[in-house]
Each structure stands twice: as C-alpha cells, then as structure tokens.
C-alpha cells in the first residue's frame, strides 16, 4: 500500500514537470520559428510574386471596365501577393478587337471582354455570350455553361477547332439589352430598312436580316460615329455604359427592350500556357473569382443601371420607348432564319441544340413555377397595367 500511495503522490508531479518542460521548449522553438518567419516570409512572397497584364476591351470610363476591376480586385486580394493582375483599358496594349489574339500570343496575359467580339473567327463564338433568346435570361446561359455542357463545347471551340492558346470563363449575367439610340422613335421593322446601325456578334447578322446596314465598332468609337453622321442608330448595352460613353449627348431617343441580345455574359480569358504553369490554388482563385465577381456585378447593376436611366430622363432630356411588338416578332422570325442558315455548320448546330435542350427544360420550370413579377409590381407601386 505504501508503494501505491507513493506512486499516486509522486507520478502527477513528475508528469507536471515533464509537461512544463515540454511547453517551455515548444514555446521557445515556436517563437523562434515565428520570429524567423517574420523575417523570411516577405522575401519568399516577393520572390514568388507574379504580375500579369490584364487588358479589358472597354474604355476606362465605362462601367464594364469597372466590372473588370472588381474581378481583378478579388483575384489580387485572395492571391495574397503571389499573383497580381494589372488592369489596363482597351487600347493600352492592343485595340479592343485584338485582345484575344494578344492573349493567344502572350503579348497580354489575360483579358476581359465578350465572346461576340471573336465571332469573325467562328460565328459559334457569339453563342457563348450573346446568341438567340433561347434562355430565360443571362443567368440561365451561365447555368447552361457550367452545368449543362456549355463549358465543354466552349473548350472544344477554343482549344480544339481554333487551336487557341487560351483558357476562358464566362461570367457576369447582363440584363436584356435595349434596341438602342436613334434619331427618332422606331415604330416597326420598316424603320430599320437601310439604316446604318451599330451592333456586334450574331446581332450583326440578325439586323442584316431585318434590312439594316450594319457597322461593327468597339464601344469607345460609337458615339463619335453617331456625332459625325457615320451611323444612324446604335446599341451598346445598358443605361450606365451608354450614359458614360455619351449617348445622351448625340441622341434623346432610347428604345428599350429587344431580342437581338436578350442574354449576354462577359468572358475572362488567360494565356493557357501561362495559366497552366500556375499552382493549383492560384488557378482556383482565377476561376472562382469569376463566380464571386459575377454575383456582385448582378447586384451592383440593379442599383447603377436604374439610377442612370432615371437621371438620363430627368436631367438629360432622354425619352424612352418600348420596342413595338411587331418588331420583336420580326426579330424572332429573323432568328429562326439565321439559326437555320448557320446550323449548316455541324459545330454551330451542336451548340444551339445543347442550348435549346437546356433552355426548354430549365425555362419550363420557371414558367410553371414563378408568379409574374409585373402583377406584384403594379400592385405595390400603383402602376397601371
């Protein structure tokens, strides 16, 4: 019994001493490691830092360039100094329509634009950012891209068919684009006949079907062209961009609603060779930042677009008109014809068929499930139907 009692009284004391010694040693070693880390880590971070030139296809004053900056900000903050994107406006290295080629060759490391800008290489490009109105909205286009097989088709086009040294992500759902700015109210399809009109992507082919004389220009060149009388009408995208680019200075007639670019998204691309040399965690940051920026953009534009539209009307004398139903119907018929013609190309048809299958299934759900927002809006805000 005495030996047992001795063990009970001495063993805890020995253990306590052992633990205290271990903790002291660990603290000493850990403290040295932390101290060393404070001296060494910044040097390591600087040695590993990568700076990439990332050009948008937008003028500095356009809200689209701001959306590009929002993406860059997320990447740079999450990368913690290991990777930095240096945002440049259109024209800083190459003109807007040459951005993809510059990324392909490595003259630029990445860029922010829209797939419609590359449709001259393959008209299917436009389907990934601004195709036929087969989707309920642009967010459904993103749903198709990331969950309905669209991304695989995009990669087949970019890396398989065209052999571009590019990796890309679709991001940023845009609302329906207005028909645009004109000298007078558009009252039907006949008003577009022979009109010198600016648009891009498949929309260019659509308006040719409607009888317009289409001109393709980057955003920063549109207002000067209207001012000089080189074009009679134009669309760009939204009230904020249009206001910042100066459309209200050259026109007071703003036609809302259209099916020419009913659902459009941005595209973010990188030089594939450089992208694939990055560590997996940095590649993940570049990819998942597109999702974060996409969500934030869809929230921000609700505030900005609505404010700018109100101020254009109240402060700049802009008058808005709804595009007449007969013109909307004419656009849909033109889409039918255009899709039929372009679907002679097997890949184009493959993409359209995939989009229609997803759009029919997902769109049916929303049509069946959602109550019409206009009914609630008219109720709460006392708007006459």
SS3 track for the chain: CHHHHHHHHHHHHHHHHHHHHHHHHHHHHHHHHHHHHHHHHHHHHHHHCEEEEEEECCCCCCHHHHHHHHHHHHHHHHHCCCEEEEEECCCCCCCHHHHHHHHHHCCCCEEEECHHHHCCCCHHHHHHCECCCCCCCHHHHHHHHHHCCHHHHHHHHHHHHCCCCEEEEEEEEECCCCCEEECCCCCCHHHHCCCEEECCCHHHHHHHHCCCEEECCCHHHHHHHHHCCCCCEECCCCHHHHHHHCHHHCCCEEEECCCCCCCEEEEEEEEHHHHHHCCHHHHHHHHHHHHHHHHHHHHHHHHHHHHHHHHHHHHCCCEEEECCHHHHHHHHHHHHHHHHHHCCCHHHHHHHHHHHHHHHHHHHHHHHHCCCHHHHHHHHCCCCC
Residue 215, number of CB atoms within 10 A of its CB: 18
What is the number of structural domains in the chain? 1
d(CA 250, CA 26): 73
The model carries a pTM of: 0.85
Distances (CA, A) of 289 to 71, 73, 134, 148, 270: 6, 9, 27, 21, 13
- pLDDT value, residue 45: 41
Q: Across residues 198-207, what is the average pLDDT?
A: 94
Within a domain: 14: no
pLDDT at 219: 85
Residue 152 lies in a domain: yes
- Enclosing domain of residue 69: 48-173+264-301
Report yes or no on 169 lying in a domain. Answer: yes
pLDDT at 372 over 80: yes
Q: Give mean pLDDT, residues 108-133.
A: 96
Nearest C-alpha neighbor of 134 from the set 336, 329, 294: 336
Query: Tokens for 128?
Result: 């990934």
CATH code of 102's domain:
3.40.190.170
Q: What does residue 16 show for φ and ψ, rounded to 5 degrees?
A: -60, -45
- For residue range 305-359, what is the model confidence (pLDDT) as tens digits? 999 999 999 999 999 999 999 999 999 999 999 999 999 999 999 999 999 999 9
In a domain, 209, yes or no: no
pLDDT in tens, 228-250: 999 999 999 999 999 999 999 99
Tell whether 319 is covered by a domain: no
220 pLDDT band, cuts 50/70/90, is confident
> How does pLDDT run across 5-47, given as a tens digit for each residue?
343 333 444 434 444 443 344 434 344 333 344 434 444 344 4
Confidence of residue 2 (pLDDT cuts 50, 70, 90): very low
pLDDT value for 20: 43
Percent of the chain having pLDDT more than 90?
A: 84
According to the model, what pLDDT value does residue 375 have? 95
- 113 located within any domain: yes
Window from 2-6, 124-128, 273-277 with minimum mean pLDDT: 2-6
Report the range of poorest mean pLDDT among 39-53, 215-229, 274-288, 349-363.
Answer: 39-53
The CA distance from 279 to 139, in Å, is 30
Pick from 21-30, 46-55, 65-74: least confident: 21-30
What integer is the mean pLDDT of 207-216? Answer: 95
User: Taking the alpha carbons of 89, 90, 91, 93 in that order, is the dihedral positive or negative?
Assistant: positive
Q: Contact 330/336 with Cβ under 8 angstroms? A: no
* Lowest-confidence region among 107-116, 145-154, 203-212, 215-224: 215-224
**pLDDT score at 49:** 86
The average confidence (pLDDT) of the chain is 89
Q: 32-46, 116-130, 194-208, 321-335: lowest mean pLDDT where?
A: 32-46
Residue 114 falls inside a structural domain: yes
For residue 121, being part of any structural domain is answered with yes
Reported as a pLDDT band with limits 50, 70 and 90, residue 225 is: very high
The pLDDT of residue 26: 41
């Amino acid at each position: 019994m005495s030996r047992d009692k001795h063990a009970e009284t001495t063993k805890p004391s020995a253990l306590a001493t052992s633990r205290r010694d271990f903790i002291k040693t660990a603290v000493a070693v850990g403290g040295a490691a932390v101290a060393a880390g404070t001296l060494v880590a910044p040097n390591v971070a600087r040695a590993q830092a990568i700076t990439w030139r990332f050009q948008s296809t937008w003028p500095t004053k356009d809200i689209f360039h701001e959306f590009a900056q929002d993406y860059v900000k997320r990447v740079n903050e999450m990368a913690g100094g290991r990777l930095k994107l240096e945002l440049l406006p259109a024209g800083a290295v190459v003109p807007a329509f040459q951005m993809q080629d510059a990324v392909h060759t490595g003259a630029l490391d990445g860029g922010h634009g829209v797939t419609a800008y590359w449709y001259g290489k393959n008209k299917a490009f436009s389907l990934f950012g601004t195709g036929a109105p087969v989707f309920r909205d642009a967010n459904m286009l993103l749903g198709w891209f990331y969950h309905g097989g669209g991304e695989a088709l995009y990669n087949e086009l970019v890396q398989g068919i065209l052999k571009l040294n590019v990796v890309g992500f679709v991001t940023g759902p845009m609302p329906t684009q207005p028909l645009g700015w004109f000298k007078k109210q558009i009252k039907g399809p006949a008003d577009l006949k022979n009109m010198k009109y600016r648009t891009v992507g498949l929309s260019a082919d659509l308006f040719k079907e409607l009888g317009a004389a289409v001109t393709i220009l980057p955003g920063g060149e549109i207002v000067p062209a209207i001012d000089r009388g080189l074009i009679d009408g134009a669309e760009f995208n939204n009230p904020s961009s249009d206001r910042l680019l100066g459309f209200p200075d050259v026109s007071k007639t703003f036609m809302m609603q259209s099916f020419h670019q009913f659902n459009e998204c941005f595209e973010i691309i990188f030089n594939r060779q450089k992208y694939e040399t990055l560590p997996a965690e940095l590649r993940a940051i570049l990819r998942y930042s597109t999702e974060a920026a996409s969500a934030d953009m869809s929230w921000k534009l609700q505030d900005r677009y609505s404010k700018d539209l109100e101020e254009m009307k109240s402060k700049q004398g802009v008058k808005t008109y709804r595009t007449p139903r007969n013109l909307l119907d004419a656009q849909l018929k033109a889409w039918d014809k255009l899709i039929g013609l372009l679907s002679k190309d097997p890949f184009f048809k493959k993409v359209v068929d995939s989009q229609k299958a997803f759009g029919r299934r997902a769109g049916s759900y929303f049509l069946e499930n959602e109550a019409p927002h206009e009914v609630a809006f008219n109720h709460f805000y006392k708007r006459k139907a």
